[in-house]
Amino acid sequence: MASRSSRQSYSHNHNNGSSSSSSSSTSTSSSSSSAAVSSRTTVGHAQPAHNSSGRPKPPSATSRRSVTPNSRTQSFHSDQEPRRVRVAIRLRPRNAEDLLSDADFSDCVELQPELKRLKLSKNNWSSESYRFDEVFTETASQKRVYEVVAKPVVESVLNGYNGTVMAYGQTGTGKTYTVGRLGKEDASERGIMVRALEDIIASTSPASDSVEVSYLQLYMESIQDLLAPEKTNIPINEDPKTGEVSLPGATVVRVQDLDHFLQLLQVGEANRHAANTKMNTESSRSHAILMVHIRRSVHEKVNDEINSQEKGTKSDLFDGNGIPIVRKSKLLIVDLAGSERIDKSGSEGLLLEEAKFINLSLSSLGKCINALAENSSHIPTRDSKLTRLLRDSFGGSARTSLIVTIGPSARHHAETASTIMFGQRAMKIVNMVKLKEEFDYESLSRKLEGQVDHLTAEIERQQKLRDDDKYKLEKQLRECHDSFAEARKVLVTRSEILEKENIHLESEMKGILNELNHQKDLNNLMQDKVSKLEMSLKHSEQHQLENSTYQKVLADTTQMYEKKMAELIKQIEDERAHSENAEEQLALMKKLLSEQQKSIQGQKQIDELALKLQEMYQLHENTLSELQSLKSENKDLLLQKEKLNEELHSVRQRLLEQEKQRKGIENELFKLKRAVPENENDFEDKKSYMKEELSKGSSEFGNRMGSYRSNPLRENISGQRATIAKICEEVGLQKILQLLTSEDSDVQVHAVKVVANLAAEDINQKRIVEEGGLDALLMLLRSLENTTILRVASGAIANLAMNEMNQALIMDKGGALLLAKTASKTEDPQTLRMVAGALANLCGNEKLLTVLKEDGGIKALLGMARSGSSDVIAQVARGLANFAKCESRGVIQGHRIGRSLLIDDGALTWLIANSNTNSASTRRHVELALCHLAQNEDNAKDIISGGGVKVLIQISVESSREDIRNLAKKMLRLNPSLQADMHAR
């Protein structure tokens, strides 16, 4: 509750106060007219000088007038003694009760704002005058009160000094209105708290400064946290060296902007104790204390408006090492509970006990004020927790301003006099204002950490470049190995061809040698025939001699034949080739010789035989030349054979090196198998679980950051992932993916575990998909029946399904159908949990909802819920919540109409039936799903008929999460059909 009725009546009676006072007695009218004149002019005076005892001397009677209203505001904080406690007094307008009760009496208070004086009437003929640092009439605005009382303190706090602004007065006189008014409807009614934080936020930089607040109440001598009501009896600690007061355990919230602070203030006001008494319909029953901690970085050219005396004692902004300086200051804004008399307030029971504690703490505060004003040697600050909290504000090092509120009614003359005397005594207190500066080692540390992060990023970038170069060199090496293998194949093929050609040539050479030997034999045969021919010629010569008739002819013929035969023998010796027809020719010659009648014809045949013998000789020469060329070619072939042997030896060396590399890769694969976790739960979709765990953080103020506690299992998983990532870099992702198609089931199991662990990291998912890993995983789901491989492959797909781009690829490749089939053919809870997690991740993509339902994804989820496993049911609930959330977002944005797709498959019935499950995670997702389904008006009929309205009402009241309760209330309020059914109930 941001404001209370009594404080609202304060502003409402502002206008009524002047009119009612004009209708009272003559003295009242005169004081009102003088107050009206004083609103235009201001009387200034010299500030009271302090004597050696610390008490102010009586003020001088001399005064001067100012022509502007602002001079009155200026005089409050331009005092020559800024260390003295400043006290201003504010008069509350007359309310309806005052007008009714004091109709026959005049006001007991007369204000003289021009002289900064107040007259308190003892009776109708005597009064006492009191002087304050500022006097506010009932028409003074909230802005002017802030600028006079609190703004100088706020400026000092921004410059590095502690400060306190406190409101003191009788109950019902407007303290909370002055200090804690929120002014949500009317900004002009904002109190000191809101205006002070508005100036502080405007004067600080979120980048280099911080503003943190704590809001507490002192109720019945127990300090309670208004931002976290469960924190009670918070202890008070005092630093023995500096005397600084701290409250360990109190909630400290860093303020982001003014709206954030207004929300915090509204929460605190709602938790503050208040009650209805005769004095006030909404009386504060506790002291409210707003603590504002400011931390500002001091730069070299800062203009701190500090007087010359404080500048002389101020430390340097930077030391010789260049360490920045930070100023820490604290602002206390205290709204004290009102003092009251039991007989007037009519308090009974608990209210009476509260009043006793309030009066006791205020009495202790008054004793401390009196002791300080009288320079007593003992200050009883430990008599009350209030005085301990305000130890620095009175007699300490803070700059303090006190706003004293009083009422005009004569019925409360005693309380008003006591309040005025409290303010008079407080004006005598002098504080020792100190500037608090420290070296900003935290900022320097953050700067160094930033530099370290930058250098680390640069090192990682260089490492990435080196890895890329290494990958390119390995790729080139693989290409060289492939080219070497291809060259080896070519060389082996060529050597085989050359060997075959060599064998063929050797066989041809043997044939030629055999043929030459045959020709030699023929030549020998021809010589024998020639010798025989010679013998026959000799016999014929004798025969011719005997034949006298033909002697002359035979002599001539014989001479001619001898000449021819000599030439023929010479040709035979030279030729030695192709003499196969010589025998025929010799036979023919014998015939010719025997037949002298045919001598002429024999001459012709001899000529032809000589020609043939010449051709045979030429053929023999050609054969010899070919033989020489074959020998030279054979020699060249032998040289080439030696070269090929050398190349073959080098290729064998390379093959040996490749064999060593292959053995090294096999060893790395063995290490990979050993590094893969044996626990199938290690490759789960950890990111989704991590998000669920982070979402379970406390929603209370001060506990919004969830704490992360490491455990041995998480450290073990991190070590395994680091090992797998290292092996993946050395072996290569492509080779690991190739192992998924291995015929060895053990190799497949280890390979798919490695891929699942790699898929748990965002940086690996893109490479896995690009290298064909998604297709390989879907192929495993399609073709294998091994339970372990199905479970691990489903977990890997669940991890890949965390990425929106991968979700579309999984759906395009039929992944939802495969997951649904896998769920239908297995009863293993772990496998079902992985499949449900993958489908739950796909349910988070609004573009895929229709296709996912058509592929049977929703039916598969509901079917898996029948397994009874709590982990599987939690994943099913998460998937339905994601599906319903995407649908509600589409309905709000206007591109989705009609009933929810979940209703057709019976998901709404399942959600209603499981709304009271014991699992906190499952119940939270079920509640979210029902709330999102209720956002669509087209689902209202099914929700009503299924009993969902009763469940939504239960969620709005009993849910453990505040945001879910608020969402359920909003749906019940905004959905007309649900609201009508709720009213009918």
Contacts of 572 (CB under 8 A, 6+ apart): 523, 526, 527, 530, 579, 582, 613
Contact (Cβ atoms closer than 8 angstroms) between residue 830 and residue 681: yes
- Distance (Å) of CA 57 to CA 54, 334, 345, 403: 9, 29, 39, 22
Residue with tokens 């998460």: 878
Amino acid at 191: G
* Three-state secondary structure of 257-326: CHHHHHHHHHHHHHHCCEECCCCCCCEECCEEEEEEEEEEEECCCCCCCCCHHHHHHCCCCCCCCCCCEE
Per DSSP, the chain holds a count of helices (H) and strands (E) of 39, 19
| Alpha carbon of residue 275 to chain centroid | 47
Q: Collect contacts of 603-609 with beta carbons under 8 A, ≥24 apart.
A: 603/560, 606/561, 606/564, 606/568, 609/568, 609/581, 609/582, 609/585
- CA angle in degrees (0–180, nearest 5) for 39-42-43: 145
Q: How many CB atoms lie within 10 A of CB 493?
A: 10
DSSP type of residue 149: I
Is 173 labelled as part of a ligand binding site?
yes
What burial class does residue 104 get, using C-beta atoms within 10 Å of its C-beta: 0-12 exposed, 13-18 middle, 19+ buried? Answer: exposed
Is 251 labelled as part of a ligand binding site?
no
What burial class does residue 45 get, using C-beta atoms within 10 Å of its C-beta: 0-12 exposed, 13-18 middle, 19+ buried? Answer: middle
- Residue 218: what are its φ and ψ, rounded to 5°? -105, 105
- Tokens representing residue 272 in the block: 């503050």
Is 552 labelled as part of a ligand binding site?
no
User: Where would I find the H helices in 547-598?
Assistant: 551-575, 582-594
- Tokens representing residue 940 in the block: 């209202």
Residue with tokens 């001479």: 559
Is 169 labelled as part of a ligand binding site?
yes
Is 664 labelled as part of a ligand binding site?
no
Given the DSSP bridges, would you call strands 134-136 and 237-238 parallel, antiparallel or unpaired?
A: unpaired
576: phi > 0 → left, psi -120 to 50 → alpha, else beta; which? left
Measured CA to CA, the distance from residue 401 to residue 313 in angstroms comes to: 24
DSSP states along 673-742: HHHS-S-GGGGS-HHHHHHHHHHTS--STT--S------HHHHHHHHHHHHHHHHHHHH-HHHHHHGGG-
Q: With H, G, I as helix, E, B as strand and everything else as coil, classify residue 134.
A: strand
Closest CA to 419 of 111, 87, 164, 179: 87
Measured CA to CA, the distance from residue 967 to residue 762 in angstroms comes to: 32
Is 175 labelled as part of a ligand binding site?
yes
Residue 246 pairs in a beta bridge with 237
Closest CA to 736 of 766, 782, 781, 767: 767
In total, the chain counts a number of residues equal to: 985
Given the DSSP bridges, would you call strands 325-335 and 283-284 parallel, antiparallel or unpaired?
A: unpaired
Radius of gyration of the chain (CA): 57
Closest CA to 148 of 71, 245, 42, 40: 71
Contact (Cβ atoms closer than 8 angstroms) between residue 176 and residue 335: yes
Give the residue ranges of the annotated binding site. 169-176
Query: Residues at the annotated binding site for ATP?
Result: 169-176
